[in-house]
Amino acid sequence: MTEARPVRTRFAPSPTGPLHIGSARTALFTWLLARHYGGQFILRIEDTDQKRYIEGSLQLVTDGLQWLGLDWDEGPDKGGPYGPYTQSQRLDLYQQWANWLVEQGKAYRAYDTREELSQISAEREAKKLPPGYDGRHRELTPAQEEKFIAEGRKPVIRFKAPDSGKTIAQDLVRGEVEFDNSTISDMILLKEDGFPTYHLAHIIDDHLMEISHVTRSIEWLPSLPLHYQLWQAFGWEMPVYAHLPVLLNPNGKGKLSKRHAGFSEDGKQVLVLTKEFQEAGYYAPAVVNFLTNIGWNFGDEREVFSVEEAIARFDGTGINPANSVYPIEKLDWLNGVYIREKMSDAELAAHLRTPLERAGLTVDDSTLLQIVPIVRTRIKIFNDVVDLAGFFFREDFSPPSVEDLIPRKMDAAGTLHALEIAHAHLSGLSSFAFDHTEPAMRALAEELGLKAGQLFGALRVAVTAQSVSPPLFETMEILGKAESLRRIQLAIDVLAKQRVSQQ
C-alpha cells in the first residue's frame, strides 16, 4: 500500500475556535504517519460552514500546531501544487463535480422547502424511522423541475445512496467494517448557496490533492459507508481511512469537548485547549509525548520517548480502537521528567523567563541561569517558578510577618536570638558558598540546642519570605552575602519591634 502510493496525509481543521487537544492529537497522529513514511503533511482549511466561522480562530489553530512542532509541507501560507488549500476558494470545483454526479445519474437536485423537510422529519419520527430524507425528489421530471424553478425554489444536490445491500470497507484502526446500505441517507452534497457539505468537499479535495491516508475521529465512522459509495461513484482510488478513538473526560463520562476548557475536576483544572497548555507553562515536546501515549503504545513499556523515536515506530498500526480517558494527571509527571532530564540549563532558563516576566518581575540573565540548577528538580511546569523562586527578582522585598518567622516549637524570643547569632556567624564567614554556610549553620543549630530544621526554617523565611523555596544555602549564595544578611536583619528587626511593643 505505502510502497505503491506516496504517503500524503492532511489535517483539515475548521476555523471555529482554538485548537482542542483532541484535534491536536489527530493532527499529531496524522503528522507522525507522514513523517514515518517520509511523506507529505498538508494543512487544509475546511471553512465552508460559514455560520460557525470565528474570526481569528485560524491563527489560534496554526499557532497551536507550530507550538507542538507539527510543521506542514503544503498549506494556505506555504502554497503547493494542489492549491488553493482553503475550501472557500475552491467552490467552483465542488460545483463542477456535484453537477457531474447529477449528469451521471448518481446524484439529483432536490427542491424541498424548509417546511417540507420539517414535515418529512416529523413523518419519519412518527414511523420510528431514523432521521434522513425520503428521496421524494429522486426522479423528478423536467416539467416538475421547471415548476419548482418557476416558484423560485433553489435546489440542493443530494447523493443517490444505494438502498439495499451492504458496504464493506477497511479501516486502519478497526480492520474490516460492514454497514447495511439501508442506513445510508440521500445526504446533501451541495447546498442551495453553492457551498458543499463536508461529505462532498473532503472527497474531492482528498482526490485532487492525492491524499493517501485520512485520519479522523471515530465520530465519522457512521459516515464511512456514504463516503465509500461516493468514492465509488466518482471512480477514484479511495485513501486509507483511520478512525481514531475520542478522548473522554477524566471521569470517563462523555467526550472531552471545547466547552470543558478550564473546568475543574476534583479541584484540578483540566486543560483542553492547546493554548491553555502553553499559557500554563508546559513544555511542547512533553505535551507531544503525552498525546502520543493516549491510544498508541510505543512498546517496550516506555512512556518517555522523543518525537524522533515516535516517528521511527509510528506506522499507523498499534492504535487502540477503544476511546481513552484523558489522563491529565500524567502530564505534570511527564513534564517534570522533561524539565529534570531533557533540557539544558540555557533552554530551561529561556522557558522560565516567560512566566517570571508575565508576573511583572524584572529578570536578569545571570541570576536566572544560577537558579536553574536549584529549581529544575522542584518544578513540574514552568509557571511553578514564580511561586518557588520569584523572590530572586523582586526589587521591593518585604520582610515576613512574626508569625511566619517562628518555627514550630519555638517562640518569638528564641527565634530572634537564633537569627541574631546566625547573622553574626554568617557575617564572619570568609566564603558565602553553600558548602561553607550550611556546615556553619548546622553546627550553630547544635550549639543553640535547636534542630537544624528549626534554624534553617527561620533563615529560609527570613531570606525568601516564604516557607517553601529552593535549597536554602544555594539560595543565599545566589542572593549574595550582603543581600542575604540584609534580609536576615530585616527579619530580626521585625521580631525585635514586636518584642518592644509587648514590653
**In 127-197, which residue ranges form alpha helices assigned H by DSSP?**
142-150
CB atoms within 10 A of CB 268: 12
Residues 6+ apart with CB under 8 A from 40: 6, 7, 8, 9, 34, 73, 74
Write the DSSP string, 158-172: EE----SSEEEEEET
In single-letter form, the type of residue at position 37 comes to Y
Q: Which of 160, 166, 191, 258 is the catalytic position?
A: 258
In single-letter form, the type of residue at position 108 comes to Y
CA distance 441 to 437: 6
Residues 6+ apart with CB under 8 A from 12: 43, 44, 45, 46, 202, 205
* Coil, strand or helix at 175: strand
CA nearest 24: which of 67, 53, 55?
67
**How close are the terminal C-alpha atoms of the chain, in Å?**
90
DSSP β-bridge partners for residue 500: none
| Residue keyed to cell 447529477 | 102
Q: Taking the CA atoms of 439, 442, 444 and 447 in sequence, report the sign of the dihedral they define.
A: negative
CA distance 89 to 407: 69
| Residue keyed to cell 541561569 | 369
- Residue 49 gets the label, from left (phi > 0), alpha (psi -120 to 50) or beta, of beta
CB atoms within 10 A of CB 110: 22
Write the DSSP string, 389-432: HGGGG-SS--PPPHHHHSPTT--HHHHHHHHHHHHHHHHT-S--
Q: Taking the CA atoms of 62, 67, 68 and 73 in sequence, report the sign of the dihedral they define.
A: positive
CA nearest 243: which of 227, 260, 261?
227
Examine the residue annotation and report whether 258 is marked as an active-site residue of this protein.
yes
Residues 6+ apart with CB under 8 A from 59: none
Residue 178: in which H helix or E strand, if any? strand 175-180
- Residue 256 gets the label, from left (phi > 0), alpha (psi -120 to 50) or beta, of beta
**Per-residue pLDDT tens digits for 428-481:** 999 999 999 999 999 999 999 999 999 999 999 999 999 999 999 999 999 999
Q: Give the burial class of 225: count Cβ atoms within 10 A of its Cβ; 0-12 exposed, 13-18 middle, 19 or more buried.
A: buried
In Å, what is the CA distance from 263 to each residue of 24, 260, 271, 469?
19, 5, 8, 29
Dihedrals phi, psi of 245, to nearest 5 degrees: -65, 155
- Rounded to two decimals, the pTM is 0.91
Q: pLDDT tens per residue, the chain (503 residues)? A: 445 789 999 999 999 889 999 999 999 999 999 999 999 999 999 998 877 778 888 999 999 999 999 999 999 999 999 999 999 999 999 999 999 999 999 999 999 999 999 999 999 999 988 899 999 999 999 999 999 999 999 999 999 999 899 999 999 999 999 999 988 999 999 999 999 999 999 999 999 999 999 999 999 999 999 999 999 999 999 999 999 999 988 877 788 876 555 555 554 567 888 999 999 999 999 999 999 999 999 988 899 999 999 999 999 988 999 998 889 889 999 999 999 999 999 999 999 999 999 999 999 999 999 999 999 999 999 999 999 999 999 888 899 999 999 999 999 999 999 999 999 999 999 999 999 999 999 999 999 999 999 999 999 999 999 999 999 999 999 999 999 999 999 999 999 988 766 65
CA distance 98 to 192: 12
Cell numbers given for 440: 556553619
CA nearest 29: which of 206, 245, 174, 352?
245
